[in-house]
Amino acid sequence: MSWEPVIGLEIHAQLATRSKIFSGAATAYGAPPNTQACLVDLGYPGVLPVLNAEAVRLAVRFGLAIGGTVAPRSIFARKNYFYPDLPKGYQISQYELPVVKGGSVEILLDDGSRKTVRLTRAHLEEDAGKSLHESFQGLSGIDLNRAGTPLLEIVSEPDMRSAKEAAAYMRRVHQLVRWIGICDGNMQEGSFRCDANVSVRRAGTDKLGTRTEIKNLNSFRFLERAILHEIDRQIEVIEDGGRIVQETRLYDPDRDETRSMRSKEEANDYRYFPDPDLLPLEIDAATLDAVRATLPELPDRRAARFVTLGIPAADAAQLTLERDTADYFEAVLAAAPAVEPRVAANWVNGDLAAALNDAGLGITASRVGAAALAALLLRVADNTISGKIAKDVFAAMWAGEGGADDIIAARGLRQITDSGALEAAIDKVIAASPNQLAEYRAGKDKLFGYFVGQVMKATGGKANPQQLNELLRRKLG
C-alpha cells in the first residue's frame, strides 16, 4: 500500500518597515546586541504599544496580491508563553480575526502543469528576540534587537502532496513578497523562514494523519530535505506498528535528520486573549483602494504578457522570477523594438544571467545596462555582426571596453557581407581541401559543416552565416 504525504506551511515573512511593529526602534539587521530595543520591546511595565501603519499597509498589499479578503476589522491577541527571549511573557499576534483570510497562489509542477495552493490566512505579529548559545561558555546571551520586528505569518491549507510541491510553494511566496516589496526575502538573515507541517496517510483515504511540525527552515533546500526525511520517518514508524505523536521537531542539516523538540502545544495552552492595549485594527475601503493603486503588475500576469510576445512559458517564468529582471528585459525591448522579444529573452536569461551569476551581482548592478544590451542586439538584428560574434562583443562590454558599436569598430568585427570577399575566402578553402571536396561530392553531406567552419576560421568568424551558406552550397554543388 502506498502512502500520500500531506504538507501545509506556515511562512514568516519579515515586513520591510524601518521601525518595529509596536515601537519606534529600528529594524535594521546586524546592529550590536540590544542596541535596537526600546522599552516597549523590552516589555517594561506601563509602556504602550503603538501600531505601525506601514506594517498594516504591507499586510494589505499581500492580501490583495493573493486575492484574499482583507478584514475590515481584525484583532490583536496575546499569545502567552515563557521564553527568555520574550520579556513580556507574551507575543502580540492575531488569532481569531486575522488581517487577511483566504487567497491562493499557483505553483508550476515538474510536468508543466499548474496547481493552486490555497491560503488559510495571513496575520500580523511581532517577532521574539534571539538567544545566543555559542558565544558564552555555560551561559546564554539574549539579544532583543529582533523583538518587536513586524512579521506576516502566511498559513497555507494542507494542499501540498510532496516535498517538491512544498518547495515550489515556498519559492512562489518568496517571489511574490519580494515582487510586491513587502519583504526583502533574505533567508540568511532570517527575513523569510518557514515551519513545515507534515503528515502521511494511506493513498486514497481522506482523513488527515497526525502531523508533526518542523520548525524554522530557512532555505528551500533544507525545507525539501527535512520534509523528505520526515515523510520517511513517519512511514517507518507507522509500518512498524507505531503511532505518530503530534510534536514539534527540529531539522539538523548537518546530520540530515529531524529530532523531537517538544510535544506540540494546543492553542488553548497559549491562553490567547485580545490585547487590551491595542484597539481593533480597522481598514477602510479608501485604504484598500490606495494600496491597490500602488500594486505592480503581478508576476503571473507579466509572464503571461511575455508569452504573448512569442516567449516560451518557461523563459517567461524565468524572466519574472524577480521584478528587476522583468523591468530590465522590458527596458531592452523598449530600446530595441527591431529585436525579437524571444531573442532578447534568451540574452537576458542566458549570457547576461551567467555573467551576473559569475560576478555575484544583481541585475540592477549589471555591468551591461539594458540600453547597452539593446544596442548590441540591434547590431545582430541589422546583420552588422552574427549572434556568435555578439557573444564576444558582450564579453568585451562586460569587461568595460565600451559600447557595442565602439567594440565592433575597434576590433574590426563587422560581418563580411561583401559577396566578392566571401567568395574569395570560400575558393581558398575549397582549393586547400581537395580530399574533403571529393568526399563531399561523393555524398558525404556532413562535410558541409567542415567547409563552413574553415571559412569562418579564415574570416575570423565574421562571415555572414546565411550568405556563407548560400554561396558555399552553390560552389560545392
Based on the shown chain and the rule CB under 6 A, indicate whether residue 422 belongs to the binding site for ligand ADP. no
Helix (H) / strand (E) element for 214: namely strand 212-217
The one-letter amino acid at 53: A
For residue 365, the one-letter residue type is: A
156 interacts with ligand ADP by CB under 6 A = yes
Q: Considering the rule CB under 6 A, would residue 197 count as an interface residue with ligand ADP? A: yes
Work out which of 6, 281, 311, 385 binds ligand ADP, going by CB under 6 A.
6
Size of the site for Mg ion (CB under 5 A): 1
12, 123, 146, 211: which one contacts ligand ADP (CB under 6 A)?
A: 211
Tell me whether residue 8 or residue 49 sits nearer to Mg ion (CB atom): 8
Q: Which residues contact 124 (CB under 8 A, 6 or more apart)?
A: 21, 55, 56, 59, 76, 93, 94, 98, 99, 150, 151, 152, 281
We find the least distance from the C-beta atom of residue 63 to ligand ADP, in angstroms, to be 17
CB of 127 to ligand ADP, least distance (A): 17
Three-state DSSP class for residue 240: coil
- Looking at the Cβ atoms of 6 and 64, the one nearer to ligand ADP is 6
Q: How far is the CB of 110 from ligand ADP (least distance, A)?
A: 22
User: Amino acid identity of 134?
Assistant: E
Backbone angles phi, psi at 150, to 5 degrees: -70, 135
200 binds, among Mg ion, ligand ADP, none (CB under 5 to 8 A by kind): none
Query: What is the Cα Rg of the chain in Å?
Result: 30
Decide which of ligand ADP, Mg ion, none touches 211; Cβ closer than 5 to 8 Å per partner kind.
ligand ADP
E-strand spans in 239-278?
Answer: 247-252, 257-263, 273-274
Identified binder of ligand ADP from the candidate list 155, 278, 288, 295, rule CB under 6 A: 155
Q: Does 313 bind ligand ADP (CB under 6 A)?
A: no
DSSP state of 348: I
Q: DSSP readout, 100-139?
A: EE--EEEEE-TTS-EEEEEEEEEEEEE---EEE-SSSTT-
Site membership for ligand ADP, residue 318 (CB under 6 A):
no
Q: Where are the alpha helices (DSSP H) in 296-369?
A: 299-308, 313-319, 323-335, 341-347, 353-359
Residue 132: burial class (beta carbons within 10 Å; 0-12, 13-18, 19+): middle
199 binds, among ligand ADP, Mg ion, none (CB under 5 to 8 A by kind): ligand ADP
Q: What is the DSSP letter of 19?
A: B
What x/- string results for residues 106 through 145 when contact with ligand ADP is judged by CB under 6 A? Answer: ----------------------------------------
152 or 198: CB nearest ligand ADP:
198
Task: Please choose which of Mg ion, ligand ADP, none residue 4 contacts, taking the beta carbon within 5 to 8 angstroms, the exact cut-off set by kind.
Answer: none
Which does residue 6 touch among ligand ADP, Mg ion, none (CB within 5 to 8 A, set by kind)?
ligand ADP
**Residues of this chain, 1-20, that bind Mg ion according to CB under 5 A:** 10
Is residue 468 a contact point for ligand ADP (CB under 6 A)? no
Residue 453 CB-density burial (10 A; 0-12 exposed, 13-18 middle, 19+ buried): exposed
Using CB under 6 A, pick the residue from 208, 371, 424, 432 that binds ligand ADP: 208
Q: Which of residues 212-251 bind ligand ADP (CB under 6 A)?
A: none
Please tell me whether residue 157 binds ligand ADP under the rule CB under 6 A: yes
CA distances from 254 to 224, 228, 250 (A): 14, 15, 12
Cell numbers found for residue 296: 505592480
Please say which residue, 130 or 215, places its beta carbon nearer to Mg ion. Answer: 215
- Interface positions with ligand ADP (CB under 6 A): 6-10, 155-158, 197-199, 208-209, 211
- Interface positions with Mg ion (CB under 5 A): 10
